[in-house]
Structure 1
Amino acid sequence: MKEKFTSPVYNVRPIPIEKIQANAYNPNSVAPPEMKLLYKSILEDGYTMPIVCYHIPETDTYEIVDGYHRYLTMKQHKDIYEREGGCLPVSVIDKPLSDRMASTIRHNRARGTHSIELMTNIVAELVESGMSDAWIMKNIGMDAEELLRLKQISGLAALFKDKDFSHAWTAGGGADD
């Protein structure tokens, strides 16, 4: 019998910001005007969405999956830090790294833009860790053309291993060869 799923948002907890760290794979960026708007939003409305993190029990730290810019806002603004008692609202997900990367991308794509270079790095890392094109497309919300473009940009031959390509053209050969 399948266990009942409970969304992590029903277990939001205050975590001291000193225990929270950024991940190394987030390709999302926010322009300065939007960062000012985010600060104003948090100042006026408070934190209305938790930071999504993965708990690392060995160090009792929390790695951000989603919410880096909300975290950054507290780190950069003493008034927010003091009002919130130095804690951020956190919901914890327990997933392997490839699934956390996919979660980060899904969260970001629903509302922001991405750095092509960092997206290319993520795709390369997912392919190198054994994730199939179908898995990447399904879990990150890419179509086949976008995935192919990112692989091409990376220039990594390993991303194309085990793929069949047309033999219609050969180097030095003519159309009638």
Structure 2
Amino acid sequence: MSPDVAKTVIEYLESFDDVDLKIKAINELKSLIHQHSPFCREPVDCVLWVEAKTVEANDYNPNVMATVEKKLLERSIELDGFTQPVVVARQQRRHLVVDGFHRHLIGKSRPELSRRLHGYLPVTLINAEREGQKERIAATIRHNRARGKHQIAAMSDIVRDLHRQGWDDRRIGEELGMDADEVLRLKQISGLTELFADESFSEAWTVE
């Protein structure tokens, strides 16, 4: 980008005193760039900020997140910020969630986060031809299944690696949003005796 173009864009954005108007202008700039992007068919190429009140859950995805995982997601968004947008389908003035129900819920329900985001949520819009109900349902299922069903094993590997790097159970639990029992269970899954150096085995582990 040439200095002159950058200067023009900066001056344009700084001309807005109203946050909502500035966000609207930013979205328009992003959309314009997206239209001329070689990645214009990829939703992630254009992350927009929309008012959280316009984002609504779908009525066909009975997705339940465990309390531990929800706390971890809350901590992740609190400390790391939104690293993944909510995937939505535009329905008139509404935005129906295709993927990211829990991200959208946390963004709307946590007052301090809502203030930080000025009442907005980051979204990507699925391609227009995929906005029908059947297409949205299929997209949601694909997103969920693509993540796989081996999360417990993956978390066990993470706990193992953190332990090897010097974190004790308390630190692991605090950083990953787990209680002591959850940390212990994940250590047991890994099956490495080195992880239990400071633990007493329960009678269930006794072999006679």
CA contact (8 A) 1:51 1:68 kept: yes
Aligned-pair distance for 1:28?
Answer: 1.7
Contact between 2:108 and 2:119, CA under 8 Å: does it hold in 1? no
Q: Does 1:70 align with 2:106?
A: no
Tell whether the 8 Å contact from 2:56 to 2:96 is kept in structure 1 after alignment.
yes
Q: Which has the higher strand share?
A: 1
> Which of 43, 46, 66 is the matching residue for 1:8?
43
Counterpart residue number, 2:168: none
1:99–1:76 Cα change, 3 Å:
same
* Structure with greater contact order relative to length (CA < 8 Å, sep ≥ 6): 1
Moved over 6 A (4+): none
Q: SS state of the match for residue 50, structure 2?
A: strand
C-alpha deviation, 1:97, in angstroms:
1.3
Identity of aligned residues (%): 42
2:131 maps to 1:83: no
TM-superposed deviation, 1:108: 1.1
Change (3 A) 1:72 1:112: farther
Q: Which residue matches 1:19? A: 54
Q: TM-score, normalised by structure 1?
A: 0.58
- Which runs of 5 or more residues in structure 1 are unaligned? 114-177
Q: What is the CA–CA distance in structure 1 between the aligned matches of 2:79 and 2:101, rounded to whole Å?
A: 19
User: In 2, distance between residues paired with 1:41 and 1:92?
Assistant: 23
Shift of 1:82: 0.8
Give the aligned residue type for 2:134: S
Larger Rg: 2
Q: For structure 2, which runs of at least 5 residues remain unmatched after alignment? A: 1-38, 150-208
How far off is 1:112 after superposition?
A: 6.4
1:45-75 alpha-carbon deviations (Å, 9 max, x no partner): 1111111111112xx1101001100011112
Match of 1:159 in 2: none
